[in-house]
Amino acid sequence: MRAAVHRSVGSPESVEVLDVDKPEPGYSQIRIKVQAATLNPVDMGNWLGVFPAPPEGNTHGLGWDIAGVVDAVGDAVVWEPGQPVIALSRAFTGMNRAQAEYVVVPSEAIAHAPAGIDPVHAATIPLNGLTAAQSVELLGLQTGQTVLITGAEGAVGGYAVQLAKRRGLVVIASDLSAEGEFATKVAGADAYVPGGGDLVGAVRALHPEGVDAVLDTATLGQAVIGAISDGGTFVTTRPDAMPEAERGIRLRVTQVGADGATLTTLSDLAAAGELALRVAETYPLEEAAKAHARLAAGGLRGRIVLTME
């Protein structure tokens, strides 16, 4: 089978599409024939060398997000070949093969694909949707409480705004755009504060006592903790963006994991038109290096997706 891999680090040119062994599913695993696989910023960490480079003579795979159909199953799996699914392939190095023609994942990592949604758009759900859902859960807020979500027009932040509103939270969104039209008009935020200036002051102008929590998908860290009221909660999606503790504020970090139940809920929301899915550009698998270079260039709203067919 063909797969996007890298055997060196340093630039997107290190991404190659090679023939690799077709994986076989174990006892409680599923092999998926991939139709579409999303590129995410974490993928850049592989070929940039943020994560350990492949041992000499070996390659590491790429990709977390999968949309496709069940191709083969282990003995303990109830899924059947031919069923459309979405899935999360979670491994920082080596085991990720989402950007490939076939991938094997644990049975708890998949959900049915959203009805009526094409595989390209469906492939944008798993990593970003699960990160957003698990982050909103970590906030520990109740209906009517307030949260500031940074990076609210990005992939994770955009999902987080939508999911926080479904929980009945009052959402202040922030990002670098001037108007925040996606965050407010599509995702449903109650207010929008442009980033780049005195974000804490702007939030305090709306809520002088501070918000109950911050979900920091833009990894602003220390620069935004002042927006939280005493004893509130700060959730970040990256450990290296954790601020210093102060005023009894709880600090939490999202460690995204496979969760078929939550992924099923996200799939159902997308099928019902209640979760906005955004695709910026698509590339065939054979142009994976070009796609990764475009990802590194930035400036996109929505995800880049590789297609296998």
- Is pLDDT of 40 > 80? yes
Tokens of 133: 């859902």
Give tens-digit pLDDT for 257-297.
Answer: 899 999 999 999 999 999 999 999 999 999 999 999 999 99
Helix-helix angle 260-271:126-139, to 10 degrees: 110
Pairing between β-strand 29-39 and β-strand 15-19 as defined by DSSP bridges: unpaired
Do residues 48 and 135 both lie within one domain?
Answer: no
Output the pLDDT for position 51: 84
Q: By the 8 A CB rule, do 263 and 88 touch?
A: yes
Q: Which of 96, 17, 8, 4 is nearest to 53 (CA)?
A: 8
| CATH at 43 | 3.90.180.10
- Residue 160 to residue 151: CA distance in whole angstroms: 10
- Residue 39 to residue 4: CA distance in whole angstroms: 11
Q: Of 208, 238, 253, which residue sits at a domain end? A: 253
| CATH at 245 | 3.40.50.720
Do residues 26 and 115 both lie within one domain?
Answer: yes
Strand order in the sheet with 228-236: 191-194, 170-175, 146-150, 211-216, 228-236, 250-253
Do residues 89 and 56 both lie within one domain?
Answer: yes
Output the pLDDT for position 38: 98
- Residue 33 to residue 250: CA distance in whole angstroms: 42
Output the pLDDT for position 46: 87
Count of the separate structural domains present in the chain: 2
Do residues 119 and 134 both lie within one domain?
Answer: no
Output the pLDDT for position 97: 82
Asked if residue 73 belongs to a domain, the reply is: yes
H/E segment holding residue 262 = helix 260-271
Q: Which of 186, 146, 175 is nearest to 274 (CA)?
A: 186
Do residues 186 and 301 both lie within one domain?
Answer: no
- Is pLDDT of 169 > 90? yes
Do residues 108 and 137 both lie within one domain?
Answer: no
- Kindly state the percentage of the chain with pLDDT values over 90: 88
Q: 55 Cβ partners below 8 Å, 6+ apart?
A: none
Pairing between β-strand 29-39 and β-strand 303-307 as defined by DSSP bridges: antiparallel
SS3 147: strand
Give tens-digit pLDDT for 57-77.
Answer: 889 999 999 999 999 999 999
Do residues 287 and 185 both lie within one domain?
Answer: no
Asked if residue 92 belongs to a domain, the reply is: yes
Q: By residue range, what is the domain housing residue 40?
A: 2-125+277-307
Do residues 146 and 249 both lie within one domain?
Answer: yes
Can you tell me the mean pLDDT for 162-180? 95
Asked if residue 155 belongs to a domain, the reply is: yes
Q: Of 253, 268, 297, which residue sits at a domain end? A: 253
Asked if residue 268 belongs to a domain, the reply is: no
Tokens of 26: 């174990």
Output the pLDDT for position 52: 84
Asked if residue 260 belongs to a domain, the reply is: no
Q: Which of 201, 161, 195 is nearest to 178 (CA)?
A: 195
- Band of residue 149 on the pLDDT scale cut at 50, 70, 90: very high
Q: Which of 44, 29, 52, 1 is nearest to 286 (CA)?
A: 1
SS3 19: strand
Output the pLDDT for position 197: 87
Asked if residue 271 belongs to a domain, the reply is: no
Asked if residue 258 belongs to a domain, the reply is: no
Do residues 135 and 73 both lie within one domain?
Answer: no
Q: 202 Cβ partners below 8 Å, 6+ apart?
A: 193, 194
Give tens-digit pLDDT for 72-122.
Answer: 999 999 999 999 999 999 876 666 789 999 999 999 999 999 999 999 999
- Residue 30 to residue 223: CA distance in whole angstroms: 43
First to last CA, the chain: 13
Do residues 249 and 283 both lie within one domain?
Answer: no
Output the pLDDT for position 95: 64
Do residues 150 and 110 both lie within one domain?
Answer: no
Do residues 6 and 117 both lie within one domain?
Answer: yes
Asked if residue 151 belongs to a domain, the reply is: yes
Can you tell me the mean pLDDT for 29-39? 97
Give tens-digit pLDDT for 225-268.
Answer: 999 999 999 999 999 999 999 999 999 999 998 999 999 999 99
Output the pLDDT for position 50: 85
Output the pLDDT for position 94: 61
Can you tell me the mean pLDDT for 197-203? 95
Output the pLDDT for position 164: 98
More confident residue, 168 or 90: 168
